[in-house]
Amino acid sequence: MNVGSVFTPFSTRPTLVFPGAMGGGNWGGVAFDPALSFVFVNTSSLGGMGQMVPSPNGPIAYRNSMGYARFLDQDHYPCQQPPWGELSAVNATTGEVAWRVTLGNFDELAAQGMTNTGTLNIGGPIATASGLVFIGAATLDDPECSVRVPAGEPQWDQRSRRKAPVQLGGDESER
C-alpha cells in the first residue's frame, strides 16, 4: 500500500492519504474574530483510501475503485491516534495555531477509560464579540459547546440533538 500526505495522488496500488476526503477542515466553514485576528475551524483527523483502476468505458481512462473509503477499524473508529475531532483557533496574521480543543467523545470508549478522543465532525462555529465561540451539530455524539477566546477554555458542553448555533444581526433601524 502506498502511504502519503494530503497531495499524494491515488495510484494503481491501494493508496492511503492523510487527511482523506472527510479529514481536515471540512464542510462546516469557519468563523473569524476580527479583534484577535483568529480563524476558528473544526477539523476531523481521518485518513482516506483510494485505488485507480482502468475504466471499462467512458471518457476517462481510470476511476477510483474505492470511492471515498475512510481509514476505519472493524469497530468504525479512525485508525490513527486521537483526537479525531477538534476546534482550533488559527492566528490569521501568523498562521500559527493558538489553541485546540477536542470536540466530541465516544461514550463506549469513555466507559473503557479512553476519553478525550474527539469524533468526526462537520458543523461550523460562530464567534461572538463577547469572546465566546459556539459550535453545535458538529460531532457524532451531539454536543453543543462554547469556548472562551483567546485561551481556548471550554465553558460548557451539553447534548443538543444537532442544533446548529444561529447568529442574527442587524442595525438599530431594522428593529
Residue in the structure block whose three cell numbers are 477510483: 64
Give the tens place of pLDDT for each residue, 110-144. 899 998 888 887 778 888 888 888 876 555 555 55
Q: Which pLDDT does position 43 carry in this prediction?
A: 86
Closest CA to 121 of 57, 175, 73, 78: 78
**Taking a C-beta distance cutoff of 8 angstroms, is the pair 104, 44 a contact?**
no
Q: Is the confidence at residue 20, as pLDDT, over 80?
A: yes
In sequence order, the 6+-apart residues with CB closer than 8 A to the CB of 72 are 78, 79
Asked if residue 53 lies in contact with residue 66, where contact means CB atoms within 8 angstroms, the answer is no
Output the pTM of the full model: 0.76
